[in-house]
Structure 1
Amino acid sequence: MKRSGILHGRLSQIIAELGHGELIAVADCGLPIPPGIELVDLAIKPGMPSFLDVCDTILTELVVEDFIVANELAIRGSGVVDHLRERAGVLGKFIPHSDFKQTLRNVRSVVRTGEWTPYANVIFVAGVAFS
């Protein structure tokens, strides 16, 4: 049994296997997942687990080079983008929500949360722990 970190076996494995530049998304309950993309569904009820709780937990183990969010999250997200910037240590990129959904076709997997807030989605770009 793991003592700490991500206890969800498959999610822990996905993060361990990510290579430099590969993508992993964290999503709210409503984000459509493209066919063929692996879904790690953590949602158990509205709001649980929250988007930020899942992001914070992933960021304890994942080296992040960048992140991508929809413009709409920056407009309506009330501090979410600032929180992601602080935790990930990068500024992030902003694209229209329609483009965000297209970018999902390139992710390794999507982690669905119980988040009940529109546009609470992020794509993390894996970095490397060495320079």
Structure 2
Amino acid sequence: MLQTGILNPQILSLIARVRHTNTLVISDWAFPYWPEIETVDISLTKGMPTVLQVLELLKPNFKIGRIVQAEEFLSTNPDEKIKAFNTAFEEIPDCIIERPSHIDLKKQVPSAIGLIRTGDPTAYGNIILESV
């Protein structure tokens, strides 16, 4: 029986299928539904869990080479929130951060292996992780 790390069987199954250059989306609670890709909804309530909490649990077992986040994230969130995301991203060695418009970010979603929907209310806090 698993006792540490990610315990959710759907998330474990989803990330086990990620290979080189595949992508995985971690979204906020209001992110649109995408019928083309598997969605694991772990939103418990507004604010639980957050995108960053899920990212922290993925880091030990998911080699991330690129993170995509909407450029609007920078103009709609307080400095403290931006700093928290930037700090989390900087802890990933050799990771490239891209910030296209939220329209262009959403164009990348259908090609993802899957999507994990959180309860995070952060405006434009959605991220796409690309494996190395």
TM-score for the superposition, normalised by structure 1: 0.89
SS at match of 1:15: helix
Output the CA distance in 2 between the equivalents of 1:80 and 1:124.
17
Contact 1:33 1:110 in 2 (8 A): no
Residue pairs, 1:84-123, within 5 angstroms: 84-89=88-93, 90-123=95-128
Q: Is the 8 A contact 1:45 1:114 kept in 2?
A: yes
CA displacement at 1:91 relative to structure 2: 3.3
Unaligned runs of 5+ in 1: none
- Count of paired positions: 127
Structure 2 residue runs of 5 or longer lacking an equivalent are none
User: Do the aligned residues in 2 keep the contact of 1:38 with 1:110 (CA within 8 Å)?
Assistant: yes
Question: Whole-Å Cα distance in 2 between the matches of residues 5 and 22 of structure 1?
Answer: 22
RMSD: 1.4
Deviations 1:39-82 (A, max 9, x none): 11000100001121111111121111111110011333422441
Q: Structure 2: how far apart are the matches of 1:85 and 1:57?
A: 13
Identical counterparts, % of pairs: 25
Preserved contact between residue 42 and residue 49 of structure 2 (Cα < 8 Å) = yes
**1:33 touches 1:104 (CA, 8 Å); kept in 2?**
no
Given that 1:18 and 1:126 are in contact with CA atoms closer than 8 Å, whether structure 2 keeps it comes out as: yes
Q: Does 1:35 align with 2:35?
A: yes
Instruction: Give TM-score scaled by structure 2 length.
Output: 0.88
